[in-house]
Amino acid sequence: MLFHSSIRKELARSFGATFVVLVTVVMTMTLTRTLGEASRGVFNPADVMLIMAYTVLSDMPSILSMSLFIAIISVLTRMFRDSEMVIWFCAGRGLTSLIHPLFRFAWPILLVNAALAFLILPWAFSRIEDMRDRYDKRGDIARIQPGQFQESANGERVFFIEKDSSGAQVGLNVFIATHEQDKETVTSARSGRIETIGPDRYLVLENGQRLEKAANQPELTLSMFTSYGAIIHADDQSARSFVPTHAKSTLELLATPTPANLAELSWRIGLAMAAVNFVLIGLAAAGVNPRIGRTTNIAFAFLAFIVYFNFLVLGKSWIESTQVRFDVFLLALHGGALTLALLWLAKRHNHWKFSSLRLHPSPDSEQKVVH
Protein backbone atom coordinates (compact mmCIF):
# COMPACT_ATOMS: atom_id res chain seq x y z
CA MET A 1 0.00 0.00 0.00
CA LEU A 2 1.31 3.42 -1.00
CA PHE A 3 0.48 5.05 2.34
CA HIS A 4 2.27 2.32 4.28
CA SER A 5 5.29 2.57 2.00
CA SER A 6 5.55 6.34 2.49
CA ILE A 7 5.35 5.93 6.28
CA ARG A 8 8.15 3.37 6.29
CA LYS A 9 10.37 5.55 4.11
CA GLU A 10 9.89 8.55 6.37
CA LEU A 11 10.46 6.39 9.45
CA ALA A 12 13.71 5.13 7.94
CA ARG A 13 14.97 8.67 7.33
CA SER A 14 14.02 9.86 10.80
CA PHE A 15 15.44 6.74 12.45
CA GLY A 16 18.74 7.07 10.59
CA ALA A 17 19.18 10.73 11.50
CA THR A 18 18.30 10.13 15.16
CA PHE A 19 20.57 7.09 15.33
CA VAL A 20 23.57 9.03 13.98
CA VAL A 21 23.04 11.86 16.47
CA LEU A 22 22.68 9.53 19.45
CA VAL A 23 25.70 7.45 18.47
CA THR A 24 27.78 10.62 18.14
CA VAL A 25 26.71 11.83 21.57
CA VAL A 26 27.34 8.44 23.20
CA MET A 27 30.75 8.10 21.53
CA THR A 28 31.79 11.55 22.77
CA MET A 29 30.70 10.81 26.33
CA THR A 30 32.31 7.35 26.25
CA LEU A 31 35.57 8.72 24.89
CA THR A 32 35.76 11.29 27.69
CA ARG A 33 35.06 8.65 30.35
CA THR A 34 37.50 6.14 28.85
CA LEU A 35 40.29 8.71 28.65
CA GLY A 36 39.74 9.50 32.32
CA GLU A 37 39.94 5.81 33.25
CA ALA A 38 43.06 5.35 31.13
CA SER A 39 44.73 8.29 32.88
CA ARG A 40 44.01 6.60 36.24
CA GLY A 41 45.62 3.37 35.07
CA VAL A 42 42.44 1.33 34.62
CA PHE A 43 43.04 0.70 30.91
CA ASN A 44 46.01 0.72 28.60
CA PRO A 45 46.07 4.14 26.90
CA ALA A 46 46.80 2.35 23.62
CA ASP A 47 43.45 0.52 23.90
CA VAL A 48 41.29 3.61 24.37
CA MET A 49 39.65 3.47 20.95
CA LEU A 50 39.04 -0.27 21.23
CA ILE A 51 37.52 0.11 24.69
CA MET A 52 35.33 2.92 23.41
CA ALA A 53 34.13 0.77 20.50
CA TYR A 54 33.19 -2.13 22.81
CA THR A 55 31.44 0.25 25.23
CA VAL A 56 29.37 1.89 22.47
CA LEU A 57 28.52 -1.59 21.16
CA SER A 58 27.24 -2.58 24.60
CA ASP A 59 25.08 0.57 24.66
CA MET A 60 23.67 -0.12 21.21
CA PRO A 61 20.39 -1.77 22.41
CA SER A 62 19.48 1.37 24.32
CA ILE A 63 20.46 3.57 21.37
CA LEU A 64 18.36 1.54 18.92
CA SER A 65 15.33 1.58 21.22
CA MET A 66 15.50 5.31 21.74
CA SER A 67 16.08 6.03 18.04
CA LEU A 68 13.06 3.92 17.09
CA PHE A 69 10.89 5.56 19.75
CA ILE A 70 11.82 9.11 18.71
CA ALA A 71 11.41 8.29 15.01
CA ILE A 72 7.87 6.95 15.49
CA ILE A 73 6.74 9.89 17.62
CA SER A 74 8.30 12.55 15.38
CA VAL A 75 6.97 11.09 12.12
CA LEU A 76 3.42 10.51 13.37
CA THR A 77 3.35 13.92 15.04
CA ARG A 78 4.33 15.56 11.75
CA MET A 79 1.54 13.66 10.00
CA PHE A 80 -0.96 14.96 12.54
CA ARG A 81 0.37 18.50 12.19
CA ASP A 82 0.20 18.45 8.36
CA SER A 83 -3.31 16.94 8.43
CA GLU A 84 -2.18 13.73 6.71
CA MET A 85 -3.78 11.72 9.49
CA VAL A 86 -7.10 13.45 8.77
CA ILE A 87 -7.06 11.87 5.30
CA TRP A 88 -6.21 8.53 6.90
CA PHE A 89 -9.12 8.82 9.33
CA CYS A 90 -11.54 9.97 6.62
CA ALA A 91 -10.71 6.80 4.71
CA GLY A 92 -12.27 4.83 7.54
CA ARG A 93 -9.00 3.79 9.16
CA GLY A 94 -7.98 4.41 12.76
CA LEU A 95 -4.79 4.46 14.81
CA THR A 96 -4.79 0.70 15.32
CA SER A 97 -4.45 0.19 11.56
CA LEU A 98 -0.98 1.78 11.83
CA ILE A 99 0.30 -1.04 14.03
CA HIS A 100 0.98 -3.24 11.00
CA PRO A 101 3.17 -0.77 9.02
CA LEU A 102 5.00 0.29 12.17
CA PHE A 103 5.97 -3.24 13.14
CA ARG A 104 6.74 -4.08 9.52
CA PHE A 105 9.32 -1.30 9.63
CA ALA A 106 10.51 -2.02 13.17
CA TRP A 107 10.88 -5.82 13.16
CA PRO A 108 14.48 -5.85 11.76
CA ILE A 109 15.47 -3.28 14.38
CA LEU A 110 13.76 -5.28 17.12
CA LEU A 111 15.52 -8.45 15.96
CA VAL A 112 18.93 -6.78 15.92
CA ASN A 113 18.19 -5.22 19.30
CA ALA A 114 17.41 -8.65 20.81
CA ALA A 115 20.56 -10.18 19.27
CA LEU A 116 22.64 -7.35 20.71
CA ALA A 117 21.06 -7.72 24.16
CA PHE A 118 21.42 -11.51 24.43
CA LEU A 119 24.59 -12.21 22.42
CA ILE A 120 26.73 -9.17 21.59
CA LEU A 121 26.36 -7.29 24.89
CA PRO A 122 27.98 -10.00 27.09
CA TRP A 123 30.69 -10.57 24.47
CA ALA A 124 31.58 -6.86 24.42
CA PHE A 125 31.71 -6.68 28.23
CA SER A 126 33.85 -9.83 28.30
CA ARG A 127 36.37 -8.25 25.93
CA ILE A 128 36.50 -5.11 28.07
CA GLU A 129 37.12 -7.18 31.22
CA ASP A 130 39.84 -9.17 29.44
CA MET A 131 41.71 -6.02 28.46
CA ARG A 132 41.28 -4.57 31.94
CA ASP A 133 42.59 -7.77 33.55
CA ARG A 134 45.50 -8.10 31.11
CA TYR A 135 46.58 -4.52 31.75
CA ASP A 136 46.29 -5.01 35.49
CA LYS A 137 48.56 -8.11 35.28
CA ARG A 138 51.26 -6.50 33.18
CA GLY A 139 54.87 -6.90 34.32
CA ASP A 140 56.97 -4.40 36.23
CA ILE A 141 58.81 -3.16 33.15
CA ALA A 142 55.59 -2.43 31.34
CA ARG A 143 54.38 -0.42 34.34
CA ILE A 144 57.41 1.88 34.47
CA GLN A 145 56.68 5.27 32.93
CA PRO A 146 59.30 8.06 32.97
CA GLY A 147 58.44 10.80 35.43
CA GLN A 148 55.69 8.80 37.18
CA PHE A 149 55.54 6.68 40.32
CA GLN A 150 54.29 3.20 39.37
CA GLU A 151 53.38 0.28 41.60
CA SER A 152 54.51 -3.27 40.78
CA ALA A 153 52.05 -6.04 39.93
CA ASN A 154 52.18 -7.58 43.43
CA GLY A 155 52.02 -4.21 45.18
CA GLU A 156 55.35 -4.66 46.97
CA ARG A 157 57.39 -2.10 44.99
CA VAL A 158 57.09 1.45 43.78
CA PHE A 159 59.28 2.50 40.84
CA PHE A 160 60.31 5.91 39.61
CA ILE A 161 62.54 6.78 36.65
CA GLU A 162 63.23 10.37 35.82
CA LYS A 163 63.82 9.67 32.12
CA ASP A 164 64.77 6.77 29.90
CA SER A 165 66.71 6.26 26.70
CA SER A 166 67.83 3.53 24.34
CA GLY A 167 64.34 2.16 23.79
CA ALA A 168 63.40 2.15 27.49
CA GLN A 169 66.25 -0.27 28.29
CA VAL A 170 68.32 2.35 30.19
CA GLY A 171 66.98 4.80 32.77
CA LEU A 172 68.48 7.72 34.70
CA ASN A 173 67.88 8.66 38.34
CA VAL A 174 66.11 5.47 39.36
CA PHE A 175 64.15 5.17 42.62
CA ILE A 176 62.71 1.94 44.08
CA ALA A 177 60.76 1.63 47.36
CA THR A 178 60.12 -1.93 48.54
CA HIS A 179 57.99 -3.33 51.34
CA GLU A 180 58.60 -7.04 51.99
CA GLN A 181 57.27 -8.80 55.07
CA ASP A 182 59.24 -7.35 57.99
CA LYS A 183 61.49 -4.80 56.29
CA GLU A 184 61.34 -1.75 54.09
CA THR A 185 64.02 -0.63 51.65
CA VAL A 186 64.58 2.48 49.59
CA THR A 187 67.05 2.18 46.72
CA SER A 188 68.20 5.00 44.48
CA ALA A 189 70.78 5.03 41.69
CA ARG A 190 72.21 7.30 39.04
CA SER A 191 71.23 4.90 36.25
CA GLY A 192 69.73 1.50 35.60
CA ARG A 193 69.45 -0.96 32.76
CA ILE A 194 67.54 -4.15 32.02
CA GLU A 195 69.47 -7.40 31.65
CA THR A 196 68.31 -10.98 31.09
CA ILE A 197 70.21 -13.55 33.16
CA GLY A 198 68.97 -17.07 32.54
CA PRO A 199 65.18 -17.26 32.73
CA ASP A 200 64.88 -14.08 34.82
CA ARG A 201 65.08 -10.39 34.00
CA TYR A 202 66.93 -7.98 36.28
CA LEU A 203 67.05 -4.24 36.72
CA VAL A 204 70.77 -3.55 37.20
CA LEU A 205 71.39 -0.29 39.09
CA GLU A 206 74.70 1.56 39.06
CA ASN A 207 76.23 4.12 41.42
CA GLY A 208 73.60 4.33 44.10
CA GLN A 209 72.69 3.65 47.70
CA ARG A 210 70.30 1.39 49.58
CA LEU A 211 68.52 2.31 52.82
CA GLU A 212 67.03 -0.57 54.81
CA LYS A 213 64.85 -0.56 57.93
CA ALA A 214 63.56 -3.61 59.77
CA ALA A 215 60.09 -3.60 61.29
CA ASN A 216 59.77 -2.51 64.94
CA GLN A 217 63.43 -1.42 64.99
CA PRO A 218 64.66 2.17 64.93
CA GLU A 219 68.02 1.35 63.32
CA LEU A 220 68.62 2.17 59.67
CA THR A 221 71.17 0.42 57.47
CA LEU A 222 72.74 2.45 54.69
CA SER A 223 74.89 0.80 52.04
CA MET A 224 76.55 2.21 48.94
CA PHE A 225 77.01 0.22 45.77
CA THR A 226 78.46 0.56 42.31
CA SER A 227 76.25 -2.20 40.86
CA TYR A 228 73.09 -3.78 42.25
CA GLY A 229 70.60 -6.15 40.61
CA ALA A 230 66.88 -6.40 41.44
CA ILE A 231 64.70 -9.08 39.87
CA ILE A 232 61.62 -7.82 38.06
CA HIS A 233 58.38 -9.69 37.58
CA ALA A 234 57.26 -10.72 34.11
CA ASP A 235 53.73 -10.42 32.74
CA ASP A 236 51.15 -12.61 34.41
CA GLN A 237 49.73 -14.85 31.68
CA SER A 238 47.10 -16.53 33.85
CA ALA A 239 43.47 -16.46 32.77
CA ARG A 240 40.93 -14.15 34.34
CA SER A 241 39.75 -15.74 37.57
CA PHE A 242 36.59 -13.66 38.11
CA VAL A 243 33.79 -13.26 35.57
CA PRO A 244 31.23 -10.54 36.43
CA THR A 245 27.60 -11.23 35.64
CA HIS A 246 27.42 -8.69 32.80
CA ALA A 247 30.26 -10.56 31.03
CA LYS A 248 28.57 -13.98 31.26
CA SER A 249 26.72 -15.42 28.29
CA THR A 250 22.95 -15.72 28.40
CA LEU A 251 23.19 -19.53 28.52
CA GLU A 252 25.44 -19.31 31.59
CA LEU A 253 22.92 -17.06 33.31
CA LEU A 254 20.12 -19.52 32.56
CA ALA A 255 22.20 -22.50 33.71
CA THR A 256 22.91 -20.89 37.10
CA PRO A 257 19.82 -18.93 38.19
CA THR A 258 21.35 -17.11 41.17
CA PRO A 259 19.87 -13.73 42.17
CA ALA A 260 22.78 -11.89 40.54
CA ASN A 261 22.43 -13.88 37.31
CA LEU A 262 18.65 -13.43 37.24
CA ALA A 263 19.11 -9.70 37.76
CA GLU A 264 21.41 -9.49 34.74
CA LEU A 265 19.01 -11.67 32.75
CA SER A 266 16.12 -9.33 33.60
CA TRP A 267 18.17 -6.43 32.22
CA ARG A 268 18.78 -8.18 28.90
CA ILE A 269 15.18 -9.29 28.56
CA GLY A 270 14.09 -5.78 29.44
CA LEU A 271 16.21 -4.28 26.66
CA ALA A 272 14.40 -6.45 24.12
CA MET A 273 10.88 -6.06 25.51
CA ALA A 274 11.18 -2.31 26.06
CA ALA A 275 11.82 -1.76 22.36
CA VAL A 276 8.57 -3.57 21.51
CA ASN A 277 6.60 -1.54 24.04
CA PHE A 278 8.09 1.70 22.75
CA VAL A 279 6.54 1.08 19.32
CA LEU A 280 3.04 0.96 20.83
CA ILE A 281 3.71 3.79 23.28
CA GLY A 282 4.98 5.96 20.43
CA LEU A 283 1.84 5.28 18.38
CA ALA A 284 -0.43 6.05 21.34
CA ALA A 285 1.45 9.22 22.31
CA ALA A 286 1.77 10.73 18.83
CA GLY A 287 -0.38 13.76 18.19
CA VAL A 288 -0.36 17.53 17.92
CA ASN A 289 -1.77 20.29 20.06
CA PRO A 290 -1.59 23.87 18.70
CA ARG A 291 -1.54 25.25 22.24
CA ILE A 292 1.83 23.71 23.06
CA GLY A 293 5.19 23.62 21.28
CA ARG A 294 6.27 21.16 18.65
CA THR A 295 8.97 19.70 20.85
CA THR A 296 6.58 18.53 23.56
CA ASN A 297 6.28 15.00 22.14
CA ILE A 298 10.06 14.71 21.81
CA ALA A 299 10.42 15.80 25.42
CA PHE A 300 7.85 13.18 26.38
CA ALA A 301 9.84 10.55 24.46
CA PHE A 302 13.00 11.37 26.41
CA LEU A 303 11.12 11.39 29.71
CA ALA A 304 9.33 8.09 29.03
CA PHE A 305 12.61 6.47 27.93
CA ILE A 306 14.42 7.64 31.08
CA VAL A 307 11.61 6.48 33.38
CA TYR A 308 11.35 3.08 31.69
CA PHE A 309 15.08 2.39 31.80
CA ASN A 310 15.36 3.64 35.37
CA PHE A 311 12.79 1.03 36.30
CA LEU A 312 14.95 -1.56 34.53
CA VAL A 313 17.93 -0.52 36.63
CA LEU A 314 15.89 -0.52 39.83
CA GLY A 315 14.42 -3.91 39.01
CA LYS A 316 17.88 -5.32 38.43
CA SER A 317 18.90 -4.10 41.88
CA TRP A 318 15.72 -5.42 43.49
CA ILE A 319 16.08 -8.88 41.95
CA GLU A 320 19.74 -9.10 42.95
CA SER A 321 18.86 -8.20 46.55
CA THR A 322 15.90 -10.67 46.46
CA GLN A 323 13.39 -7.89 47.17
CA VAL A 324 11.24 -8.94 44.22
CA ARG A 325 10.92 -12.09 42.17
CA PHE A 326 12.30 -12.30 38.66
CA ASP A 327 9.04 -13.30 36.94
CA VAL A 328 6.94 -10.90 39.00
CA PHE A 329 9.11 -7.95 38.01
CA LEU A 330 9.05 -8.81 34.30
CA LEU A 331 5.27 -9.22 34.31
CA ALA A 332 4.67 -6.08 36.36
CA LEU A 333 6.95 -3.74 34.40
CA HIS A 334 6.74 -4.93 30.80
CA GLY A 335 3.25 -6.39 31.03
CA GLY A 336 2.04 -3.25 32.78
CA ALA A 337 3.66 -1.00 30.17
CA LEU A 338 2.10 -3.06 27.37
CA THR A 339 -1.33 -2.93 28.99
CA LEU A 340 -1.17 0.84 29.52
CA ALA A 341 -0.02 1.38 25.93
CA LEU A 342 -2.88 -0.74 24.55
CA LEU A 343 -5.47 1.01 26.74
CA TRP A 344 -4.13 4.40 25.72
CA LEU A 345 -4.23 3.36 22.06
CA ALA A 346 -7.77 1.98 22.41
CA LYS A 347 -8.91 5.23 24.04
CA ARG A 348 -7.58 7.33 21.16
CA HIS A 349 -8.79 4.90 18.50
CA ASN A 350 -12.35 4.74 19.87
CA HIS A 351 -12.41 8.41 20.96
CA TRP A 352 -13.30 7.52 24.51
CA LYS A 353 -13.99 10.44 26.84
CA PHE A 354 -13.66 10.32 30.57
CA SER A 355 -16.90 12.28 30.86
CA SER A 356 -18.78 9.49 29.07
CA LEU A 357 -17.73 7.07 31.77
CA ARG A 358 -19.54 8.99 34.52
CA LEU A 359 -22.67 7.52 35.97
CA HIS A 360 -25.75 9.47 34.83
CA PRO A 361 -28.60 10.01 37.32
CA SER A 362 -31.61 7.72 36.92
CA PRO A 363 -34.95 9.09 35.58
CA ASP A 364 -36.69 8.33 38.89
CA SER A 365 -34.28 10.52 40.81
CA GLU A 366 -34.84 13.37 38.38
CA GLN A 367 -38.62 13.24 38.99
CA LYS A 368 -38.25 13.65 42.73
CA VAL A 369 -39.54 16.94 43.95
CA VAL A 370 -38.17 18.52 47.04
CA HIS A 371 -41.01 19.76 49.19
142-182 confidence digits (pLDDT tens): 556 666 666 666 666 777 777 665 555 667 777 778 877 77
Report the pLDDT averaged over residues 207-224. 80
> CA-CA distance, 106 to 276, in Å (whole number)?
9
For the chain, the straight-line distance linking the first and the last C-alpha, in angstroms and rounded, comes to 67
| pLDDT value at residue 285 | 83
Bridge partners of 163, per DSSP, are 172
Residue 157 · residue 176 · CB < 8 Å: yes
Q: Is the model's pLDDT at 366 over the cut of 50?
A: no
Is the CB of residue 89 less than 8 Å from the CB of residue 287? no
pLDDT of residue 147: 60
Query: Amino acid identity of 152?
Result: S
At residue 230, what is the residue type?
A: A
By the 10 Å C-beta count (0-12 exposed, 13-18 middle, 19+ buried), 94 is classed as middle
DSSP string, 143-196: H--TTS-EE-TTSSEEEEEEEEETTTTEEEEEEEEEEETTEEEEEEEEEEEEEE
Q: What is the pLDDT of residue 290?
A: 60
CA atoms within 13 A on the CB side of 75: 27
Domain ranges of the chain: 2-136+242-352, 140-232
The 10s digit of each residue's pLDDT in 86-144 is 776 676 667 788 888 899 999 999 999 999 999 999 999 988 888 887 776 665 555 56
What's the pLDDT tens digit per position in 14-67? 999 999 999 999 999 998 888 888 777 677 777 888 888 999 999 999 999 999
Residue 354 banded pLDDT, cuts 50, 70, 90: low
Distance CA 316, CA 304 (A): 18
Q: Considering the entire predicted model, what is its pTM?
A: 0.75
| pLDDT number for residue 173 | 77
3-state secondary structure of 120: helix
Q: What is the pLDDT of residue 330?
A: 94
Is 368's pLDDT higher than 50? no
